[in-house]
Amino acid sequence: MNLDIQRKIDRILGSGICRLLSLFYYISRDVTPDIKPKRILVILLSEMGSLVLARPMFDYLKERYPHASLFVLLFERNVEFLEVLDLVPSENIFTVNGNSFSGLFRDSIHVLREIRRSRIDSVIDCELFSRISSIYSFLSGAGIRAGFHPHTQEGLFRGDFINRPVLYNPYHHISYQFITLAKAIESDLVPTVKDQIVDGTFQIPRIKLKQGEVMEWEGRFRSDFPHISAKKLVLLYPGGGLLPIRAWPLKNFCLVAEDFIQKGYTVCIIGTEEDKRLAKEILTHCRSKYCVDLTGYTRTVRELIVLFHFASLLITNDGGPGHFASMTPIPCIIFYGPETPVLYRPLDEKVVNLYKSISCSPCLTAYNHRNSPCDGDNLCLKKISFKEVLIKAYEILEKKEESQFSDVIRDH
């Protein structure tokens, strides 16, 4: 479904439904229950990066409520990401089709029936601005409904039926705010949680691969591209996904790729089939057999993660690839501008976040439904020069080579 259409449906239809349900909630004078949750539903519909950043929240819930069952509701297209993270059993995953309004409406009716049959008693709605997730939480039948609420702020109205309202804070990393949602379940404060934030508390664990999985997949890769078998790989992700405004200029990716090839590296462009146009432009610029189009080559998220295990560096726009790389050994450079690393940086020390703070950045926020007023001239990203990126990249690669050399000496 087109993103602008989603925004209009959410703003017009979603807002009206939220006000209607809020009125119903007020008239019925629903008493907020005081319970120990046994069946908790987490709603994380759209962002695959948010699934990774929500990992500390899932860890908290499992530790705090060891006997509770955890469920997740998300868009169908993101199921694979959730399965790779292994956060909940596959039978506890609910999905809806977000590709069309008719599919979303049909699936919503079906999934709400399934959720009510599962006797969910607590819902944690992790969406910042989407009203449909808030509507799901109310119609789930759960007695506890935690979600972001504006309180005295303007905007972000998602219904007054959220009985564990959490104050959204644009100055704290989203992983801490997800934890706050989980802590709100048993809180009666106003606002619900008033904990001190200690930076650097969370760390995302590495993905566990099967024995020999990396070696097997690398063998297939080297067999498909035998001319690059002796060279180290640098991966580029030039796509912007649903939000092209987040993309570093393509010409900069071209110049970076050209320099890496001249220094003896192989450059591989990763992404989906939709990114092939971008890959073609980089290949045309470089005109080298050591610039390889891998868009669509990794057929699953797991294969992409395996690729991260034997490549030397990833350079990427803000989005899913950077967050999944944080769970692998690969170092990573990520570009920010329309969004800020203060809120969305990966929880990984080896990631380098490049961000130029200008007067209008960040412009994609929960307050504007991530609908940037920018005319497309994203100077916040254009101010990150390709030379700056190359300097940082070669520093990372040099340290990585020194570390690998030290490991070899130590092993002998």
Asked whether residue 287 carries a pLDDT value surpassing 80, the answer given is yes
Task: Give CATH for domain 213-411.
Answer: 3.40.50.2000
- Which residue, among 305, 396, 407, has the nearest Cα to 354 in the 3D structure? 396
Look at residue 8 in the predicted model and tell me its pLDDT.
75
Helix (H) or strand (E) holding 404: helix 386-411
Q: Is 119 exposed, middle or buried (0-12, 13-18, 19+ CB in 10 A)?
A: exposed
How crowded is residue 253: how many other Cβ atoms within 10 Å of its Cβ? 25
pLDDT at residue 408 tops 50:
no
Q: Are 26 and 160 in contact (CB under 8 A)?
A: yes
Computed over its alpha carbons, how large is the radius of gyration of the chain?
A: 22
Cα(364)–Cα(380) distance, rounded to whole angstroms?
12
Q: Once rounded to an integer, what is the mean pLDDT over residues 162-166?
A: 90
Nearest to 112 by CA among 89, 140, 87: 140
Distance (Å, rounded) from C-alpha 188 to C-alpha 331?
42
Residues, the chain: 412
Measuring CA to CA, which residue among 141, 145, 133, 122 is closest to residue 68?
Answer: 122
Q: What is the pLDDT of residue 230?
A: 80
CA–CA separation, 134 and 131 (whole Å): 5
Q: Evaluate whether 3-186 and 213-411 have a shared fold.
A: yes
Say whether pTM exceeds 0.95.
Answer: no
Residue ranges covered by each domain of the chain: 3-186, 213-411
3-186 belongs to which CATH class?
alpha beta
The pLDDT assigned to 175 comes to 92
Q: How confident is the model at residue 365 (pLDDT cuts 50, 70, 90)?
A: confident
Beta bridge partners of 363: none
**Residue 412, pLDDT score:** 47
Measure Cα distances from 295 to 273, 292, 302, 354, 412 in Å: 6, 9, 15, 24, 39
Residue 95 to residues 24, 117, 130, 351: CA-CA distances in angstroms?
A: 27, 15, 16, 31
pLDDT of 405 over the 50 cut: no
Q: How many Cβ atoms sit within 10 Å of the Cβ of residue 34?
A: 9
More confident residue, 124 or 155: 124
CB 71 within 8 A of CB 120: yes
| Residues 238 and 262 sit within 8 Å (Cβ to Cβ) | no
Give the least confident one: 251-255, 330-334, 399-403: 399-403
CA distance 80 to 214: 19
Partners of 122 in the β-ladder: 40, 144
Q: How far is CA 47 from the centre of its chain?
A: 5
Average pLDDT, the chain: 88
**What is residue 2's predicted lDDT score, i.e. its pLDDT?**
64
pLDDT digits (tens, 9 = 90+) for 218-257: 889 989 999 887 889 999 999 988 788 999 999 999 999 9
Give tens-digit pLDDT for 4-39.
Answer: 677 777 777 777 888 888 877 777 666 566 678 999
Contact 303, 321 (CB under 8 A): no
Q: Are 260 and 267 in contact (CB under 8 A)?
A: yes
pLDDT band at 201 (very low <50, low <70, confident <90, very high): low
* Angle (deg, nearest 10), helices 276-286 and 250-262: 50
Give CA separation, 142 vs 35, 138, 251, 393, in Å.
11, 7, 51, 49
Give CA 339 to chain center in angstroms.
12
pLDDT tens per residue across span 55-82? 999 999 999 999 999 999 999 989 988 9
